[in-house]
Every structure is written in C-alpha cells, then in structure tokens.
Amino acid sequence: MLLDITALPEGQDLSADIVIVGGGAAGITLALDLIDSGLSVLLLESGGAKEEPATQDLYAGTVVDPRLHSPPDRYRQRRFGGTSSIWGGRCMPLDPIDLSSRDYVPGGEWPITRAALDPFYPRANALCEAGEFAYTAEETFGTAARPIVRGFVSSDYSMNRLERFSCPTNFGARYAHKLGASANVRVVIHANLTNIALDEGGRRVTHLDLRSLDGKRITARARHYVLATGGLETARLLLANRDRHPQGIGNDHDVVGRYYMCHLAGVIGNIRFSCASDAVFRGYQISPEGVYCRQRFALQEAAQRRERIGNFIARLHHPHITDPAHRNAVLSLLYLAKPFIPYEYAMRLHGPDAGTARNWLRHLANVVTDPFDAVGFAWHMLRDRKLAERKFPSIIINSKANLYSVDFHAEQFPNASSRVMLDAVPDALGMPRIRIDWRYLPQDVHTVSRALQLLAEDFAASGVGQLQYDPAEVEAEMTRFGAYGGHHIGTARMGSDPRSSVVDADCRVHGLENLFVSGSAVFTTSSQANPTLTVVALALRLAAHLRRIESRS
C-alpha cells in the first residue's frame, strides 16, 4: 500500500512489526523481501516519486575541503528509490579478500566472511536486474569471451573478471507496483525522521517521530527498526539523536561517522598498443540474459598480499575529452554536449576545463570534419541509451590510433580521521546539517601507485604495448575530482568490538536491542567494487535475520 503523510491525520500513530526508514535500494529490498512474510512492514520515505528541491535541500551541508569531496546534496537523492534513481548500474560482488584478514589493513577486520554474503548475491543480482550471478567471462560467455588485450599475460592481473550492468534499475520506479500491491507492506512518502525515541535506559527504540515539510507530524512504532538511509544520512541521524546518549546513538566510543570511505578513482597515462587494433577490446559484451558486461584488469589477491596494498581494478579508457587534440568527432561532440549531461556524470567525463572560445571552436571543427561518426554515435546513444530500458552503460570509443588511457578504481583504507560530522546550521526541520571531512592516507596513494606500476610492467613484459604515465602525478590524478562520488562507505561500520565499530555482524547497533542499519554505512572496508550490489545483498541478509528473530518473539 502506498500512502502520503499529507493524507494521514495529524498525530497518527502507525504501528508495524518492522519499520524501515529510507526507500532506496536497501530499504526497498528489505520491504520486497518481507512481502508475504506474515510481518507487517512500514517503509518511511522522506521524498516523493520525483526529486523535490525542498526535500533534496535537507541533504545539503558543508565539506571541509571542497576540492576533495562533492557537495553533500550531490550524488545522492532524497526521494522514493533513493540514489538508485541516478546510479550508473555497475555491479560486482565484494571479493573474498575484502572480508578476509589482512594485517596490512589496520581496522579492516569484518566480523563476517564472503561466505556470509554468498547465499544472497544471486537474488541481489536479480533485483538489480544484472542477470545471472556469474562474474567471470568464461562462466558468462564461454569460448565467445573476448579478452581486453589479446596476448596480455600477467601473474598479478586477471582479465576475465566481469562487471555487469543493471538497467540501471531505479528501485522506486521498478518495484513500487509490488510494494503498492502488497497487503503487509505500507509505504509512507514525505515522512522525514526527526527523532529516534529511546527508552529510559537508552537500549530500545520506543518510537520514531516523523514530519512532513509542511508540518504534519506522525509517529511510528515497531518491534524492530532499520535505518536504510545511505552512508551519509545514517551517520547524521545517529549523531543527531542525543536525548539518551550525549554523543549520539551507538556512538559511546566515537566511531559513528568515522572511517568514512569512498573510492580512489581516476584516469591516467597513455597506452599505445603495439598489437593489432582488433586485438584490443574495451567494449561491452551482452550476456545471454541480455545484460551488458565488461571485463576488467583486476589485481589478484596474491599480488595484493605480497605488495601489502589495497584492492584495485583498471579498465581501458578513451583519451581526455577536453583536449581537442584527440581529433575525435565523438569526444568533441560530448564536450559540446556538456550542458545536457547530468552533473554527476559530467564531472568525471569532462573534468575541469578552461572552456575558451578557441577550444570550443576546435571541438566544433572536430565534429564538422567527421560528421558521420558523430551522427552515428548520436543515433546509438538515442536508441541504445535514451530510449532503451536497459541502457548502454557508458561511452565506448575505440581508438583507431590504438591509443588509450587507464581508468582505475581502488580501495580506500579505513581511516578514523576521515569522517562525517554534524554542522551547527540546522535544516528546514531543525535537524543539524551534515559536515564532511573526507581524507585519504599515504597508503592509499601507495595502493594506486604500486598497482599501476605492476600493470605497466606486465604490459611491457607481455610485449603488447607501453603504459606511460608520470608516477609523480598519481596522487594528483586520483584526487583530481576528490573522493569518488556516490560511494558513501563505512560510517557505521560492522565489527565485533563496540570500541571500534557501530553495528554487529547482524547489522544491529551495538548496545541497542532493536535498531539495525542497512546500507554501505556498515561496510568495514571499501573493496574495489561499487557498493550497490552488496548493499542489496546485505539488505536481503538482514531481512532473513529479521524474519528469524521475529519468528522467535
């Protein structure tokens, strides 16, 4: 059933077995999995079906160093469907090494292993509409698999691991009909959580206070409560509720909001392949179930352990768009189309740019001199992206000159001084706004530097081409756009020790009997993997846990 708080009577007291706060990928997954469970479920969402500026403004806040982090109201959406309404759709699971013991990753100890997630990944993959849970080229394509670079041999890098692409599925639009038709799930939109009320001992949540932006107040009570509000908002909500715990809920040991991780990503260098141009394949293959898949260079577990560095993957990338010297009509078309590309994608696509009239004219000249290429690309984008429900995931331009750059995505090590805090300035509902102080460590620079070096050595040793880059520029490149946008990880980390973690292995907040967290906030380490698939898998795991404990009570 779908309800709007504005249609409920003032002071309405809603009750259910389970209350979920936040209707994004995590919250919707939980609710979907609890359909027909025999439990009554209330899913509370701040926004409506579309972006609403006044609601989105509740996400605004400050960042300590704007060069290192995007504004807090970017790369996340406060609406039904949450940030899945704007995500890119890249799916892959965490690697076993991410959840294993690594003495070189201080504070990186998960209380669970990859095996705890394995039973939930296939269904998570299905909910993300990413097809089969098969993440190697052989499993998916058999002998039809096309290697990225024929002839590349490496003991440190694999080339057969896949990333699979969701449509990208907007969980709100895609699954609203299932929640709406459900007899045991009620969704209330425009309901903002303003207070988490605890009992006198501060060990149980007794109810939640909710408000709409136009002043309607309701309460919600349940046996179990789940915060599924994203990596930034979860920390803010825990920190802002101080009635019983002066440091905030679950924060007796000053861990909430700390260990904030994103990913370290960038584009660097030039690879000129000496092999035939058809020996290089950087495009997508479509799996039998119709899912776009792409292979990547992934740093093997043994190499990570030997080098004592974080997880790392790389892909081939087109040359820098902003420089018209590439003389590629499509890249120039993208440059000229910048005003029409959403902020979240334009940032990394284009980067900072002087934007001189002369540059603009040179790009225009590139388009005019090869109009067929540009028109063909525009048609492909219209048909396969704009009008398609399963969208072509990104821009793929094969270089006739056999010249590419390297696009990398690396793990960020846990760091207690990288954190999310409360700001003194309140939002429209009187809640303190968020303040972000994202930081990285010298070890993170080392991860990327060493991993690139290994990749370059293996390219050279294989004789397929040369990766050239300036090692002195690695740190500048990996922070050129700051923390990777949209991946908000670690702010309510999972662990067995309350002094160094916020939730336990079941995602229950330490010291609270009935409050759980769902989402990337609970990740203890960040992996190389984009987080959404694991967010969904963890939500399914939490749903199974809630069913189990509800059946006992």
Partner 1 sequence: MSIPTLLLYGANSPLGRRLTQALSPRSSEVRVMAADPLAAGALRAAAHTADAVINAAMGTPADIVRAAERLTEALRGAPVAKRLVQVSSMTVYGDATGLCDVTAPPRGPLGAYAAAHAAAEALLRAFPQTVVLRPGVEYGPDCAAWSGRIARWLQARRVGDLGAAGDGYCNLVFIDDLVRAVLSAAQAPAAGGRIFNVAMRNPPTWNEYLIGFGVALGAVPVRRVTRRRLAIETKLLAPPLKVAELTLGRAALIRQHLPPAIPSSFRRLCSQEIRLVVDDAEAVLGLTWTPLPVGLQAAAAAYGQP
Residues that bind partner 1 (CB under 8 A): 36, 129, 167, 173-175, 177-178, 181, 183, 286-290, 387-390
By beta-carbon proximity to partner 1, the closer residue of 396 and 445 is 396
Bridge partners of residue 224, in order along the sequence: 18
By beta-carbon proximity to partner 1, the closer residue of 174 and 487 is 174
Shortest distance in whole angstroms from residue 125 CB to partner 1? 13
Enclosing H/E stretch for 305? helix 301-307
By beta-carbon proximity to partner 1, the closer residue of 285 and 500 is 285
User: Are the beta carbons of 80 and 512 closer than 8 angstroms?
Assistant: no
Q: Which two tokens stand for residue 161?
A: 């691991």
By beta-carbon proximity to partner 1, the closer residue of 115 and 387 is 387
Phi and psi for 331 in degrees, rounded to 5?
-65, -40
Distance between CA atoms of residues 134 and 154, nearest Å: 22
By beta-carbon proximity to partner 1, the closer residue of 174 and 245 is 174
- Report how far apart, in Å, the C-alpha atoms of 267 and of each of 218, 317, 390 are: 48, 8, 26
Shortest distance in whole angstroms from residue 281 CB to partner 1? 17
Q: Which two tokens stand for residue 250?
A: 């679950």
127 Cβ contact partners less than 8 Å away, ≥ 6 residues apart:
29, 32, 169, 171, 175, 536
- Report how far apart, in Å, the C-alpha atoms of 261 and of each of 111, 285, 422, 493 are: 18, 31, 17, 11
Look up tokens 């449509």; give the residue: 167
Shortest distance in whole angstroms from residue 18 CB to partner 1? 20
Shortest distance in whole angstroms from residue 394 CB to partner 1? 17
43 Cβ contact partners less than 8 Å away, ≥ 6 residues apart:
20, 23, 27, 28, 30, 31, 179, 185, 186, 187, 188
Shortest distance in whole angstroms from residue 549 CB to partner 1? 24
By beta-carbon proximity to partner 1, the closer residue of 286 and 378 is 286
By beta-carbon proximity to partner 1, the closer residue of 172 and 230 is 172
Read off the DSSP letter of residue 509. B
Shortest distance in whole angstroms from residue 513 CB to partner 1? 33
Shortest distance in whole angstroms from residue 171 CB to partner 1? 11
User: Are the beta carbons of 462 and 153 closer than 8 angstroms?
Assistant: yes
